[in-house]
Chains A and B, each alone.
Chain A
């Protein structure tokens, strides 16, 4: 693995990353949260979009591995003075950094950067395209919920996951629709018709099943329900339901929660309580939301270690270029 640009990867590679994250996860129980694996390495978090949790998560992950981590935000940097992505990337690379974590509103920006700068690049979310570390942490949290201490080596075989919300504009949904089926899960996308992506020639959307009725999908008793943040800032230019319509049709309300008592609840955050899910759903013991946040650090430690620890990382396996 040279870069992590996409969540599309073979099953064995995904399981290996999740297993590595399990080992990293043990640091959570320790007083001394520091491993020397990336001592002397420098990682730049290059964030052109606002983000608190993803940036902090990458920063903690890098620091717990003893890397030096520098945060560069789009605002206040030379980017706001009109510098191109390429020049910003080359400038940062010229300072001798070992890896770049990039978040951008432009789909495909991390892939371009990876071609330009000759250093490992991690996609921390690009436009409406992908957010691979989010999908990895979702898979990690879900695998732990299902397999507990026996999670190592396991996939998500036969686990039925409903992903609910604005699928078409969600990089979280896209990365999960790529990763979870590779691990053996059965993914169903659920949302208002205007929130579903166009169908492929085989009738599926993002290669998985899509439905418009949340209630019909909940009747099938899925093992996990992933609620996407309804992102009002991404609603420009297409017909969106009103908040009231959304709650009626696609919110995990108290009534729907009672109907699917056994299902694990995931949300990438930040949550809009009352919109995507009720407060009771968010705070119930079925909610894995805080476990997802903790998992994020472990998964990002695994990714940074895999990309940066060795000068001769193992050869490419295709997917995670």
Chain B
């Protein structure tokens, strides 16, 4: 559905949207949700660095939400991932959560809880590469790379070169 160029352009647009909504780069922190959200957050940080000339490497991190998920009981034991928060912390900062796919919204619900345990940001925003719909909670993204209407039976896969060797978004399966 999306190739490397489209993913690249979407991320560049999201980076500009983040800066515009924040009226500049002040106090911005990017936290990606592992695993692919964390790689996307790093890519966004690289773009924000190119656009603003400010080094964003100290302002990007990862937020693991495993311990805050609401489906731990019903699924096989989930592996966790490291959380990396910028040294200055998140208090009074504007935190942009970054994830690959927005679907039910439950991951973001867990992320908001995980974030609250780490501090009190001034504001929290959400940027996702793909919004595939089917929300189960009142959550929406501030920036979306691509709206991808999908059936629940379909499987949306995000491939990133950092983990998958190439960049692509695909939809598989489904009753058709």
Residues of A within 8 A of B (CB): 1, 16, 19-20, 22-24, 26, 30, 32, 34-37, 65, 152, 305-306, 309-314
B73 touches A311 (CB 8 A): yes
Inter-chain contacts of B79 with A (CB < 8 A): 16, 19-20
Q: Which of A23, A30, A32, A313 contacts B80, CB < 8 Å?
A: A23
Inter-chain contacts of B81 with A (CB < 8 A): 23
Inter-chain contacts of A311 with B (CB < 8 A): 73-74
Inter-chain contacts of B78 with A (CB < 8 A): 309-310
Nearest-neighbor residue (CB-CB) of A302 within chain B: B80
The interface residues of chain A, by DSSP majority, are classed as: loop
Interface positions, chain B 95-127, Cβ under 8 Å from A, are 113, 117-118
11 residue pairs A–B, Cβ–Cβ below 8 Å: A20-B80, A23-B66, A23-B81, A24-B80, A30-B117, A32-B117, A34-B117, A36-B68, A305-B77, A310-B76, A310-B77
Q: Mark B75-88, 1 if CB is under 8 A from A, else 0.
A: 11111111100000
Inter-chain contacts of A26 with B (CB < 8 A): 82-83
Question: At the interface, yes or no: B72 with Cβ under 8 Å from chain A?
Answer: yes
Inter-chain contacts of B113 with A (CB < 8 A): 36
Q: Smallest CB–CB gap between B60 and chain A, Å? A: 17
Question: At the interface, yes or no: B131 with Cβ under 8 Å from chain A?
Answer: no
Q: Which of B64, B76, B118 contacts A313, CB < 8 Å?
A: B76
Question: At the interface, yes or no: B67 with Cβ under 8 Å from chain A?
Answer: yes
Inter-chain contacts of A32 with B (CB < 8 A): 117-118
Q: Smallest CB–CB gap between B33 and chain A, Å? A: 14
Inter-chain contacts of B118 with A (CB < 8 A): 30, 32
Residues of B within 8 A of A (CB): 64, 66-68, 72-83, 113, 117-118
The interface residues of chain B, by DSSP majority, are classed as: loop
Inter-chain contacts of A1 with B (CB < 8 A): 77
State A30–B67 Cα separation when bound (angstroms).
15
Q: Which of A20, A23, A65, A313 contacts B83, CB < 8 Å?
A: A23
Nearest-neighbor residue (CB-CB) of B82 within chain A: A23
Inter-chain contacts of B80 with A (CB < 8 A): 20, 23-24
A310 touches B72 (CB 8 A): yes
A313 touches B77 (CB 8 A): yes
Inter-chain contacts of B73 with A (CB < 8 A): 309-311
Inter-chain contacts of B77 with A (CB < 8 A): 1, 305-306, 309-310, 313-314
Chain A to chain B: the 10 pairs with minimum beta-carbon distance, closest first: A35-B67, A23-B80, A37-B67, A310-B77, A309-B72, A311-B73, A32-B117, A314-B76, A313-B77, A314-B77
Inter-chain contacts of A30 with B (CB < 8 A): 117-118
State A305–B64 Cα separation when bound (angstroms).
15
Q: Smallest CB–CB gap between B35 and chain A, Å? A: 13
State A49–B66 Cα separation when bound (angstroms).
35
Q: Smallest CB–CB gap between A92 and chain B, Å? A: 21
Q: Smallest CB–CB gap between B72 and chain A, Å? A: 5
Q: A23-B83, A26-B82, A310-B74 are in contact. List 10 more A-B contacts (CB 8 A).
A: A16-B79, A23-B82, A26-B83, A32-B117, A35-B117, A36-B113, A37-B66, A309-B73, A310-B72, A313-B77
State A22–B64 Cα separation when bound (angstroms).
13
A312 touches B82 (CB 8 A): no
Inter-chain contacts of B68 with A (CB < 8 A): 35-37
State A16–B81 Cα separation when bound (angstroms).
11
State A309–B72 Cα separation when bound (angstroms).
6
Inter-chain contacts of A16 with B (CB < 8 A): 79
State A181–B68 Cα separation when bound (angstroms).
35
A37 touches B117 (CB 8 A): no
Q: Smallest CB–CB gap between A275 and chain B, Å? A: 40
Give the residue among B74, B77, B81, B117 with the most A Cβ atoms within 10 A: B77
Inter-chain contacts of B82 with A (CB < 8 A): 22-23, 26, 152
B74 touches A37 (CB 8 A): no
Inter-chain contacts of B117 with A (CB < 8 A): 30, 32, 34-35
State A60–B83 Cα separation when bound (angstroms).
21
Nearest-neighbor residue (CB-CB) of A307 within chain B: B77
State A311–B64 Cα separation when bound (angstroms).
21
Inter-chain contacts of B66 with A (CB < 8 A): 23, 37
State A312–B68 Cα separation when bound (angstroms).
18
Inter-chain contacts of B74 with A (CB < 8 A): 310-312
Inter-chain contacts of A65 with B (CB < 8 A): 67
Given A30-B118, A32-B117: A23 and B64 interface contact (C-beta under 8 Å): yes
Inter-chain contacts of A20 with B (CB < 8 A): 79-80
Nearest-neighbor residue (CB-CB) of B89 within chain A: A31
